[in-house]
Structure 1
Amino acid sequence: MGKIALGTSREAAQPDCIRALVVEFITTFLFVFAGVGSAITADKLVGNALLGLFAVAVAHALVVAVMISAGHISGGHLNPAVTLGLLFGGRITVFRSILYWIAQLLASSTACFLLSYLTGGLNTPIHSLAAGVGSLQGVIWEIVLTFSLLFTVFATMVDPKKGTLDGLGPTLTGFVVGANILAGGPFSGASMNPARSFGPALVSWDWTDHWVYWVGPLIGGGLAGYIYDTFFIATPTHLPLPTDEDGF
């Protein structure tokens, strides 16, 4: 596992950190605006639940891919769970992670308040558990879905040995987000992102099951970052060749 660095408050005044925070705010804002906007549109215009789910999945897949690419200055996290996974993988300091979280939550809230205004106060759909899905089931859904998201991020963008996948990371990450929404949307809502859940809950002031969308994604993201960095990056990929001293 990469060493977790605490960082210092001086980072906040560094030009590169300021630029990264501005970019993280902008890209998270645009991601949530398109993602939540697609959910509002699906509620308003689409009568078929499956078609609505598909539309939301496609919208999220597209905007995630584009915003990760556009947010290369900050890393295009868009998501506290991604930031935590990269922290556990030794790619960002604790202090900067906290600043990223603040930027992400502010961006999500701003996007949702603006959507509420622009749509004339239409309902902003929150993430909540479907009927028959218990809290533990919801947490496990979010752990698994977010783990797959972070595993993809590490495999396609963080891993220095990504090889032919180099440059495809944002697109492939968008694909896995869309696929996870199709798989888990009808059950847990497939948030995978505490910031994505926070804005709608704040605007609607409906915190039903909200804790699930912090606990599940943060566990899943942290586990993926730790496991991938520990077993696939921090350790050699090839065993040493035997020598005469080994008895072969």
Structure 2
Amino acid sequence: MVRELKTLGFWQAVLAEFLGTTMLVFLGISAAIGNGNSSYPDQEVKVALAFGLAFATLVQSLGHISGAHLNPAVTLAVLVSCQISVCRALWYVSAQMLGAVLGSAIVLGVRPEAVESLDLNKLTGVSPGQAFGMELLLTLQLVLCFLATTDKRRSDVAGSAPFGIGLSVTLAHLAGISYTGCGINPARSFGPALVSMDFENHWVFWAGPVTGGIMATVLYDFLLSPRGLDLTGRLKTLCHGVEALAVETEPLVEGGAAAGECFYPKQLTIVINC
């Protein structure tokens, strides 16, 4: 764990998660509140496309540096899959939360005067229990898509993985905006809530996505496409990162992008083959 913290690539990856989540929240919320005259169906399509395209673009831009999780639910799912260390997961989630708060604060500063809301995730005609179920299922399909499209064991994947993940985000928003505003990302929900100091039913937007992400990992990694039961390798990864499994570890405070690839693309191969 100490060695991982001393690598330049680790901090580049943390910075990438911070910047990526900042941009994701800024772009998504800006699209959601930028046109108060839109009819609801048109608005839902616009917001869904904004989040989906933003996620696809950022995964394409930052995936080789950090894996471009941009979502605590994705990071926790990858942690359960034993593809990153506990230390890296904690730093990723912290960076994502800070990035979401910064992105929300920027939108608060530049929003039109007539706009009062920051597009908080709210329950619309559903109970908290129903909303929990909706967030769970929407996040489950997103994380399942994320794990499957970035699985380097596959040779049948054609096209762009970032585009596929972006489509998954778009699909979730098209299905869920009318019910919960479509959280599927605890950081995206936390940023506007903190800036607006409104945490009504906020637990739903943590419990649902986190549970859905973990369920997706269990389904994919242990049932649908098992990665193997090398407990020693998994424990090494959780404690020291994937670098601990490499024959030759990277130099300290050197290494650039390869040092920050948490599971995509090179270090995933190391985890799979262990």
Q: Say which of 159, 162, 166 aligns to 1:170.
A: 162
Instruction: Tell me how far 1:20 sits from its aligned partner.
Output: 0.3
Does the 8 Å contact 2:34/2:111 carry over to 1? no
TM-score, with structure 1 as normaliser = 0.86
Instruction: Tell me how far 1:71 sits from its aligned partner.
Output: 1.1
The whole-number CA distance in structure 1 between the counterparts of 2:80 and 2:145 is 15
The whole-number CA distance in structure 2 between the counterparts of 1:141 and 1:125 is 18
Asked if residue 88 in structure 1 is aligned to residue 80 in structure 2, the reply is yes
Q: Could you tell which deviates more after superposition, 12-21 or 97-106?
A: 12-21
Instruction: Tell me how far 1:222 sits from its aligned partner.
Output: 1.0
Asked if residue 206 in structure 1 is aligned to residue 179 in structure 2, the reply is no
Does the 8 Å contact 2:77/2:143 carry over to 1? yes
TM-score, with structure 2 as normaliser = 0.78
Q: Post-superposition, which runs of at least 4 consecutive aligned residues in structure 1 deviate over 4 A?
A: none
The whole-number CA distance in structure 2 between the counterparts of 1:87 and 1:166 is 26
Alpha carbons of structure 1 residues 172 and 105: separation in structure 2 relative to 1, 3 Å: same
Structure 1: any 5+ residue segments left out of the alignment?
1-7, 237-248
* Higher RCO structure, 1 or 2 (CA under 8 Å, sep 6+): 2
Please say which structure displays the higher CA radius of gyration: 1
In structure 1, what is the equivalent of residue 121 of structure 2?
Answer: 127
In structure 2, what is the equivalent of residue 31 of structure 1?
Answer: 24
Query: CA-to-partner distance for each residue in 1:123-161, whole Å, 9 max, x for gaps?
Result: 211001112x0111111101100000010011111x223
Q: Say which of 14, 19, 28 aligns to 2:12.
A: 19
What is the RMSD of the two structures over their aligned residues, measured on CA atoms?
Answer: 1.6
Instruction: Tell me how far 1:167 sits from its aligned partner.
Output: 5.5
The whole-number CA distance in structure 2 between the counterparts of 1:167 and 1:29 is 27
The whole-number CA distance in structure 2 between the counterparts of 1:233 and 1:28 is 30
Query: CA-to-partner distance for each residue in 1:24-76, whole Å, 9 max, x for gaps?
Result: 1111111111011111114x241x10110010001111001001111120000
The whole-number CA distance in structure 2 between the counterparts of 1:167 and 1:110 is 33
In structure 2, what is the equivalent of residue 62 of structure 1?
Answer: 53
Aligned residues: 225
What one-letter code is carried by the residue in structure 1 that aligns with 2:25? V
- Write out aligned runs for 1:75-114 (5 A): 75-114=67-106
Does the 8 Å contact 2:34/2:112 carry over to 1? no
Structure 2: any 5+ residue segments left out of the alignment?
230-274
Q: Does the residue aligned with 1:206 lie in a helix, a strand or coil?
A: coil
What one-letter code is carried by the residue in structure 2 that aligns with 1:184? G
